[in-house]
Each structure stands twice: as structure tokens, then as C-alpha cells.
């Protein structure tokens, strides 16, 4: 018996009732994502994917760690070991989400906007690290899901210039390009605009958008899986 709409709504509510920790949010998102795992090898869910900030420098211990990576394994002995279809970075729900309002009603809520604004620059750092490690299945661009409670939006990052790849927003880097650092700080300080898109996990719109996001990289993923077969 397939899950009912009530089941999916109750799962989404687990991410808002009592404002639970982020680990609950990861589990909620993963449950919605696995509904798209057909065939079984379509994608791999890689929690806490560690991405070195300077992959060519063994002395550099810095890394960016997205909450979830979604992608496919490469052949044993191949570098990188995993090709990233998209990343996911999550935060706990905010007060305005407590009754699961329609996603469009939150697109101009100040607390929601500020949370997604901060999350955008955290995800941007992760996307830069992914590209420097040659993980994205699309090469020099990569999609990222920004998840706050059961609400999410998707951003596409890249391509980045060499100067941009040196800068980590919210994190000081001595070797970072000076001008690009100033420009990134100015962007981070700019008040956020209304969100261009926002989805609630328990809705048909969210299901269709997740499916469309996966379809974009299905051909490349299928090629990797054919090698593994």
C-alpha cells in the first residue's frame, strides 16, 4: 500500500512541530527524496560529504561539508569516488512554518528571507569546494537545495572565476582574492529579496520539482551506473 497524502503531511510536520534539530530535518528530506529512487541505483544519498577546500594541498585541513550529497558512485579506483548531482544544506524550521502554510505565503517573510539568505552563502562555499574537487556531474556548475524545515528552494552555482574560488563567505581566508572578498562581503550584507521559488515537501509541486531536478542529470548518472553494472 503506497503512502497516503496524510502520511506525507505528517512526515513534513515532523520538521516543524517543536522546531526540531537539523538532524530531524535531514531525515524528513531523505524520506521525500527516496520516493524518487526508482530504479534502486538511480542515485546514492551521501550524508556529510567532506569536500576539501584546497584539494591539491595535503597540508590544508579545511573542508566544506554539505548535509547531504545526492549523486552516483564512479568505478572503484576512480577519482573522484562520487559524482555529485546536487547538494543539500539544511536548517531547522522557523516560527512562521509551524502550521505548514502554503510555500508562496512565506516568500516575503522576513525571518524566512534572512534564514535562506544566510543559507545561500553557506551553500555557495560548499558548491565552490565541490567544483574544486571535480565532484559535480555537470562539470563547472552544480545545483544546491537550500532546506529550512520542510521548505526548500534550489540554486545553481557556477561557473566561478579563479578569484571567486578563493573566497569563502563568512570565513576568513588569508589567500583569498582581496577584491572578490570585499565584493562578496557586500553581497552578504545586502538585504535579501523575495524568494524566486519555494516548495513545501509534502506538495505535488515539490514532488514534481524534485523529479525534474533529478531528470536533468539522469543521463549522466545512467552512464556511470552502466559502468558499474
Instruction: Give the span between the Cα atoms of 64 and 116, in whole angstroms.
Output: 18
Q: With cut-offs at 50, 70 and 90, classify the pLDDT of residue 174.
A: confident
Q: With cut-offs at 50, 70 and 90, classify the pLDDT of residue 161.
A: very high
* 57 has pLDDT over 70: yes
Radius of gyration for the alpha carbons in the chain, expressed in angstroms and rounded: 18
pLDDT of residue 1: 66
Instruction: Give the span between the Cα atoms of 37 and 87, in whole angstroms.
Output: 16
Q: Cα dist. 48→34, 68, 73, 126, 183 in Å?
A: 17, 6, 15, 11, 29
The answer to whether the beta carbons of residues 156 and 142 sit under 8 Å apart is: yes
Q: With cut-offs at 50, 70 and 90, classify the pLDDT of residue 108.
A: very high
What lies within 8 Å, CB to CB, of 70 at 6+ separation is: 33, 43, 44, 45, 46, 84, 85, 86, 87, 88
Give the helix/strand (H/E) hosting 47: strand 44-47
In this structure, what C-alpha cell is assigned to residue 60? Answer: 590544508
In 3D, which of 157, 150, 155, 148 has the Cα closest to residue 207? Answer: 150
The boundaries of the domain holding residue 57 are 5-228
Q: With cut-offs at 50, 70 and 90, classify the pLDDT of residue 76.
A: very high
* CA-angle at 155, arms to 154 and 161, nearest 5°: 165
> What mean pLDDT is reported for the chain?
94
Over range 150-157, report the average pLDDT.
98
Over range 198-223, report the average pLDDT.
97
Domain count, the chain: 1
Its pTM stands at 0.95
Amino acid at each position: 500500500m503506497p503512502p497516503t497524502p496524510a502520511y506525507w503531511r505528517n512526515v513534513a510536520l515532523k520538521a516543524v512541530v517543536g522546531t526540531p534539530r537539523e538532524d530531524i530535518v535531514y531525515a524528513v528530506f531523505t524520506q521525500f527524496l527516496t520516493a524518487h529512487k526508482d530504479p534502486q541505483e538511480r542515485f546514492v544519498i551521501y550524508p556529510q560529504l567532506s569536500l576539501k577546500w584546497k584539494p591539491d594541498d595535503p597540508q590544508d585541513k579545511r573542508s566544506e561539508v554539505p548535509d547531504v550529497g545526492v549523486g552516483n558512485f564512479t568505478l572503484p579506483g576512480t577519482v573522484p569516488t562520487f559524482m555529485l548531482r546536487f547538494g543539500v544544506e539544511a536548517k531547522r524550521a522557523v516560527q512562521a512554518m509551524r502550521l505548514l502554510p502554503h510555500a508562496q505565503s512565506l516568500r516575503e517573510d522576513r525571518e524566512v528571507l534572512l534564514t535562506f539568505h544566510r543559507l545561500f552563502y553557506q551553500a555557495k562555499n560548499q558548491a565552490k569546494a565541490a567544483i574544486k574537487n571535480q565532484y559535480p556531474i555537470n562539470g563547472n556548475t552544480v545545483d544546491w537545495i537550500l532546506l529550512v524545515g520542510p521548505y526548500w528552494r534550489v540554486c545553481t552555482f557556477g561557473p566561478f572565476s579563479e578569484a571567486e574560488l578563493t573566497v569563502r563567505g563568512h570565513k576568513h581566508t588569508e589567500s583569498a582574492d582581496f577584491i572578490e572578498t570585499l565584493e562578496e562581503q557586500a553581497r552578504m550584507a545586502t538585504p535579501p529579496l523575495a524568494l524566486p521559488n519555494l516548495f513545501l515537501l509534502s506538495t505535488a509541486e515539490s514532488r514534481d520539482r524534485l523529479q525534474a531536478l533529478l531528470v536533468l542529470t539522469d543521463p549522466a548518472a545512467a552512464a556511470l551506473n552502466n559502468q558499474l553494472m
